[in-house]
């Protein structure tokens, strides 16, 4: 079907300000589903793309890659879903299907993947995200939302959640040993990292630049300890205490101080995409046989695992639900860290035009 119209909110230039935008959805194929968007999470990557801080942005840009929707229509060859199913869409809506990454269920590392936002379909048309009334997505890149998981609760798991889950999972692979984990940064990804790591049964230390979130981290999220990275005495006392650190900070920050917290052979895993280069002293890695690595979101398989894990454990995301006409204010507040801990847009309940 061609010519289906959608209403979204788009950025037109590097100011990043969003306003209503009408556009055509791409033609649907036999393995595509048409989603009515219900909710969509707000992520720091959206802001970077809206401002062309992760070049090169294609304007107009409709953000949103933590999308929860209801299937309104399905193609003739769709086997995984039925009309009316609640489903989720994350950061990726396409990949080549032929490379070693795709064939090993790691399509998030495919070099020809198609991003949900600021990507390009095979037919050359730009992709548009979940800050819109509807989307067309291939069934492979859609996941089912468990019945006992509220749709607005599921939204942050589709990017922020799986971004934390994927690296956490690799460390906990079948081991009964309690590892000591540091979560650097307590924003959207960080707070989910704390919840996931605790649900996996491990000791969690939150590392933050100030003590503002200490009570929340310890009392509401269940962290075991809280370190202020600017407090040299605290950092020195905790030196060599952590097996690894999950770095979730999406802005320029000091990773050098955190390396001292790692044990011998400890790892710092970066998942926050700072637009500026990060720095460290090489000898601090060499002497302790420490490593710095990265992890990019997660696979479709890991996303499904996380949703089931979350529902099975009865976990709760800490979100603030907002209407679409509040979206620019929400980005302002997110930028100054004034949200506990993730905005989710009530797209279906908003007047989009």
Mean pLDDT, 10 residues at a time, the chain of 353 residues: 82 97 94 97 94 90 98 96 98 96 96 95 91 97 97 97 95 76 94 96 94 94 96 96 95 92 97 90 95 96 97 95 98 92 96 93
Tokens of 73: 């229509």
What is the reported pLDDT for 273?
Answer: 85
Taking residue 107's Cβ as centre, other Cβ atoms within 10 Å add up to: 22
What is the reported pLDDT for 174?
Answer: 59
What is the reported pLDDT for 1?
Answer: 44
Q: Which long-range contacts (CB under 8 A, 24 or more apart) does 123-126 make?
A: 123/26, 123/27, 125/26, 126/58
What is the reported pLDDT for 161?
Answer: 97
Taking residue 119's Cβ as centre, other Cβ atoms within 10 Å add up to: 19
What is the reported pLDDT for 331?
Answer: 97
Ramachandran area for residue 93 (φ above 0: left; ψ -120 to 50: alpha; else beta): alpha
Q: What is the pTM of this model?
A: 0.93
User: Minimal CA–CA distance to 161: which of 248, 50, 270?
Assistant: 248
Identify the residue whose tokens are 């990043």: 16
Supply the Cα-derived Rg of the chain in whole angstroms: 20
Q: In the 3-class helix/strand/coil scheme, how is the chain assigned residue by residue?
A: CCCCEEEEEEECCCCCCEEEEEEECCCCCCCEEEEEEEEEECCHHHHHHHCCCCCCCCCCECCCCCEEEEEEEECCCCCCCCCCCEEEECCEEECCCCCHHHHCCCHHHCCCCEECCCCECCCCCECCCCCECEEEEEHHHCEECCCCCCHHHHHHHHCHHHHHHHHHHHHCCCCCCCCEEEEECCCHHHHHHHHHHHHCCCEEEEEECCCCCHHHHHHHCCCCEEEECCCHHHHHHCCCCEEEEEECCCCCCCCHHHHCCEEEEEEEEECCCCCCCCCCCHHHHHHHCCEEEECCCCCHHHHHHHHHHHHHHCCCCCEEEECHHHHHHHHHHHHCCCCCCEEEEECCCCCCC
Ordered by where they begin, the domains of the chain are 5-159+315-346 (3.90.180.10), 161-294 (3.40.50.720)
Cβ–Cβ < 8 Å for 229, 257:
yes
């Amino acid at each position: 079907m061609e010519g289906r119209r959608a209403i979204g909110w788009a950025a037109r230039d590097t100011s990043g300000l969003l306003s209503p935008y009408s556009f055509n959805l791409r033609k649907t194929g036999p393995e595509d589903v048409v989603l009515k968007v219900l909710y969509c999470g707000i992520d720091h990557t959206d802001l970077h793309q809206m401002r062309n801080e992760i070049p090169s942005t294609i304007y107009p840009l409709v953000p949103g890659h933590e999308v929860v929707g209801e299937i309104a229509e399905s193609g003739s060859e769709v086997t995984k879903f039925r009309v009316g199913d609640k489903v989720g869409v994350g950061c990726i809506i396409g990949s080549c299907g032929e490379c070693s990454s795709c064939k090993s269920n790691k399509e998030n590392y495919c070099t020809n993947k198609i991003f949900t936002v600021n990507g390009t379909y095979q037919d050359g048309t730009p992709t548009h995200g979940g800050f819109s009334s509807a989307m067309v997505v291939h069934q492979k890149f859609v996941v089912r939302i468990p019945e006992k998981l509220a749709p607005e609760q599921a939204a942050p798991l589709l990017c922020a959640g799986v971004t934390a889950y994927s690296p956490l999972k690799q460390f906990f692979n079948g081991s009964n040993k309690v590892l000591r984990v540091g979560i650097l940064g307590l924003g959207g990804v960080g707070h989910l990292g704390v919840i996931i790591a605790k649900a996996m049964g491990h000791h969690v230390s939150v590392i933050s630049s100030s003590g503002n979130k200490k009570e929340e981290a310890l009392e509401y999220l269940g962290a075991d300890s809280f370190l202020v990275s600017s407090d040299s005495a605290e950092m020195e006392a905790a030196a060599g205490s952590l097996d690894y650190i999950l770095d979730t900070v999406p802005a320029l920050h000091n990773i050098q101080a955190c390396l001292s917290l790692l044990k011998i052979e400890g790892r710092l895993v970066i998942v926050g995409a700072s637009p500026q280069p990060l720095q460290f002293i090489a000898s601090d890695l060499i002497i302790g046989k420490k490593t710095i690595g990265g992890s990019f979101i997660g696979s479709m398989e890991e996303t499904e695992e996380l949703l089931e894990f979350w529902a099975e454990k009865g976990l709760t995301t800490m979100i603030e639900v907002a209407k679409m006409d509040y979206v620019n204010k929400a980005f302002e507040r997110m930028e100054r860290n004034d949200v506990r801990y993730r905005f989710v847009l009530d797209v279906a309940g908003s007047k989009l035009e």
